[in-house]
Amino acid sequence: MKAIRVGLIGHKFMGRAHTHAYTDLPLFFDPGVEVVKQVLCSNEPGVEAAARRWGWENWTLDWKKVVADPEVDLVDIAAPSAIHAEVAIAAARAGKHVFCEKPLALNLADAEKMVEEAKKAGVVTMIGFNYRRVPALALARQLIQEGEIGDIFHFRGCYQQGWLVDPGFPLAWRLRKAAAGYGSHGDLGAHVVDLARFLVGELQEVCCFQETFIRQRPKPEFEDGLVAKAGKEMGEVDVDDASAFLARFRGRKTMGYFEVTRYGNGHRNQNRIEINGSKGSLIFDMEKMNELEVYLGSDPANLQGFRRVQVGEGVHPYMANWFPAGHIIGYGDTFVNQAFDLITAIKEGKAASPDFLDGLKCQQVLEAADRSAHSRQWETVPAK
Ligand code: SOE
């Protein structure tokens, strides 16, 4: 295999992040195969200008042409959740490997179909839980797996953004159930649930409550990610603005606390994880992305306390491939790490991780929590 040719669907926030990944991958990693930006697709004007500026060889307004293109090996879906299932299933049936942004689908039924079709087609899949590729969180997992933290009592995940505090912020696609499936619960909650699975294990049951603080917002004239321009007409917000749930993990006594909000006033993208174990604790905060706070109970009595590990040394996950020690990396660079792992999996004919099954397991938790928010009861997460 000399080259892996990518068809990317989406040219806004995630389209930009994924283009950065494929463009800069060869600067830092050598997957042993060329990555070709074959075609950029979007259903909105501006895709041609973006393709020319970002170095895509072709562009189209029709995702079906990407899926049918014999030159495309990998279809990357970096568009709103509403089209994830239709595109991923068509791509798998066409024998393409498929990358899909999170959450996997609008709902559990679609997620199950995506897993089934990808399995039938025997293609490589990956879902965009890029925080697994933050070196500090990959280090946290290593420490946990090596037993440094001991038995885990608590997992605490709190993901705060603050972009909806302004009542004038428009009714962007992330605020509409038909386009996004969920509000903060799926958009941010998916990341926290995945990190709980990545760092600790599977969830067994959840108890959730949610809130929508502002129900009416101006419909957008323009939007790109978390930036939008309000129009004159008003529309209804039909998803959660914030969601919080308790969880029990399967087969262990670990207690889980999950909180996500778009009203964390003052926070821009604070994904914070804390884990307390019998031998120590770990704290990660995306606002200090290149650091991991580590407490080890085995430290001498006069040196007890959290140490702030600068996760930028060659010994740390991915960092041997980046700049010299201490020259930190950023949010977008986690997509480069992610793309390297995906391209390597495809080249070697191996499963990528996290794959669509991980996306489905995450969606099972999200749906159980959504059910709980309506039933006001504890709800069980399917074991299979
Ligand atoms: C918006 O909340 C968003 O772009 C999420 O959709 C991403 O998954 C997250 O990484 C950053 O914030």
Instruction: Please name each of the domains of the chain with its CATH number.
Output: 3-130 (3.40.50.720), 132-328+362-375 (3.30.360.10)
Peptide bond into 300 cis (omega under 30): no
Angle, in degrees to the nearest 10, between helices 356-375 and 108-121: 170
For the CA of 163, the nearest atom of ligand 1: 2
Contact residues of ligand 1, CB 6 A cut-off: 13, 161, 187-188, 225-226, 269
Q: How far is the CA of 14 from the centre of ligand 1 (A)?
A: 9
- Torsions phi, psi for 169 (to 5 deg): -65, 130
For the CA of 262, the nearest atom of ligand 1: 2
Q: How far is the CA of 188 from the centre of ligand 1 (A)?
A: 7
Q: How far is the CA of 187 from the centre of ligand 1 (A)?
A: 6
CA 302 to CA 7: how far, in whole Å?
A: 56
Q: Which of 202, 189, 190, 209 is nearest to 248 (CA)?
A: 202
For the CA of 14, the nearest atom of ligand 1: 4
For the CA of 161, the nearest atom of ligand 1: 2
CA angle 5, 9, 10 (to 5 degrees): 130
Q: How far is the CA of 15 from the centre of ligand 1 (A)?
A: 12
Q: Are 175 and 217 in contact (CB under 8 A)?
A: yes
pTM of the model: 0.97
For the CA of 131, the nearest atom of ligand 1: 10
CA angle 46, 49, 51 (to 5 degrees): 105
Q: Which of 16, 100, 130, 188 to mutate to test the pocket of ligand 1 (most atoms within 8 A of CB)?
A: 188
Q: How far is the CA of 148 from the centre of ligand 1 (A)?
A: 31
Q: Are 197 and 155 in contact (CB under 8 A)?
A: no
Q: How far is the CA of 72 from the centre of ligand 1 (A)?
A: 27
Q: How far is the CA of 184 from the centre of ligand 1 (A)?
A: 9
Helix spans in the chain (H) = 13-28, 47-54, 63-68, 84-93, 108-121, 135-145, 177-180, 184-187, 189-199, 333-348, 356-375
pLDDT per residue as tens, the chain (384 positions)? 789 999 999 999 999 999 999 999 999 999 999 999 999 999 988 999 999 999 999 999 999 999 999 999 999 999 999 999 999 999 999 999 999 999 999 999 999 999 999 999 999 999 999 999 999 999 999 999 999 999 999 999 999 999 999 999 999 999 999 999 999 999 999 999 999 999 999 999 999 999 999 999 999 998 887 888 899 999 999 999 999 999 999 999 999 999 999 999 999 999 999 999 999 999 999 999 999 999 999 999 999 999 999 999 999 999 999 999 999 999 999 999 999 999 999 999 999 999 999 999 999 999 999 999 999 999 999 998
Q: How far is the CA of 252 from the centre of ligand 1 (A)?
A: 30
Q: pLDDT at position 336, please?
A: 98
Q: How far is the CA of 269 from the centre of ligand 1 (A)?
A: 8
For the CA of 226, the nearest atom of ligand 1: 1
Q: Beta strands 242-249 and 203-211: pairing type?
A: antiparallel
* C-alpha distances out from residue 173 to 178, 199, 228, 293, Å: 8, 30, 10, 36
CA 375 to CA 90: how far, in whole Å?
A: 35
Q: Which of 267, 269, 337 to mutate to test the pocket of ligand 1 (most atoms within 8 A of CB)?
A: 269
Q: How far is the CA of 178 from the centre of ligand 1 (A)?
A: 18
E strands, 212-318, are: 216-224, 227-236, 242-249, 255-261, 270-277, 280-285, 291-296, 307-310
Q: Which residues contact 384 (CB under 8 A, 6 or more apart)?
A: none
Q: Are 8 and 76 in contact (CB under 8 A)?
A: yes
Q: Which of 12, 13, 104 to mutate to test the pocket of ligand 1 (most atoms within 8 A of CB)?
A: 13
* Atom 5 of ligand 1: nearest residue by CA position: 187
CA angle 51, 131, 15 (to 5 degrees): 10
Q: Token pair of 240, please?
A: 């959660």
* Atom 11 of ligand 1: nearest residue by CA position: 269
Q: Which of 9, 88, 35, 67 is nearest to 356 (CA)?
A: 88
